[in-house]
Amino acid sequence: MPELPEVETVRRGLVPVMEGRLIVEAETRRPDLRWPLPRDMAARVTGQRVLRLGRRSKYLLADLSSGETLIMHLGMSGRLLISGAPTAAFHDERPTPDRHDHVVFRMEDGATVTFNDARRFGAMDLAKTEDLAAHWLLAELGPEPLGNAFHEDYLVGRLRGRNTPIKAALLDQRVVAGLGNIYVCEALWRVGISPRRKAGRIAAARIATLVPVIRATLEEAIEAGGSSLRDYRRADGELGYFQHAFRVYDREGMSCPRPGCGGTVRRIVQSGRSTFHCPTCQR
């Protein structure tokens, strides 16, 4: 599933063709994705201007001139792809509709934004912009890891006394929003903390070191356009390439890249998810 860097990369790719632009026509080609699409979604979106294209955690948020916000989640395999854009950097012809093209937005300058989702785990909803923070998908999310509310004192206090492994604690979207399996594995390796360690038993000073490392890991991934492992594509159809910088994720059996470590990357399963780490240098 795309994590924060992938969703932020898609958002940045969509801004030039959606933000400030009129949606001349919206088309829904099926009644549902992961759950039913909003009632009369095409009619409610058609003719509206996208005032702002934002992101909260792994959700894209398009504030419309109608006073509603379109909430979009890519799910496991969803893609928002641009075609017909006047800017060469985003030009991608899609002359024949794909059978997995489920929602289409035709913009005023001739660009088309298509939501393609082979597995249909993606989702869309409409909510009043003024009530957005209370929406059930967003209401319990923790702070953004790249925002000012995510800082050393916050994370130390939030994890104090927790008996869950640090990996699970960081994946809890109520603790910090947008982190997923890849970037938690990478951040824990960078600071040398074992994913098995109980969050509440790690010294406050070590917890504090996670904050700048999480930020740096995410920023590097965004700069690289995210990580393309299976279905993820940027809005221009190109692959991200942060996967080439992985230190431990998906590197089971390989030598740990930390200078002087000499260990081997291992894979374990935590809460049904693969965790990659080096048991030699991560304590």
Active site residues: 2-3, 58, 273
The CB-side HSE value for 195 (13 A sphere, CA atoms) comes to 30
Closest listed residue to residue 198, CA positions, set 164, 159, 157: 164
**HSE-CB for 51 with a 13 A CA cutoff:** 9
Q: Which residues pair with 56 in a beta bridge?
A: 59
Alpha-carbon gap, residue 238 to 234, rounded angstroms: 5
Task: State phi, psi for 178 to the nearest 5 degrees.
Answer: 100, -15
Instruction: Quickly count: other Cβ atoms within 10 Å of residue 161's Cβ.
Output: 10
Burial of 262 (0-12, 13-18, 19+ CB in 10 A): exposed
In whole angstroms, how far apart are CA 231 and each of 22, 154, 248, 261?
29, 34, 21, 34
3-state helix, strand, coil in the chain (%, to 5): 30, 25, 45
Task: Calculate the CA dihedral of residues 141, 147, 151, 155 and round it to 10 degrees.
Answer: 20
Q: Where are the alpha helices (DSSP H) in the chain?
A: 4-18, 41-45, 152-159, 166-171, 181-191, 204-223
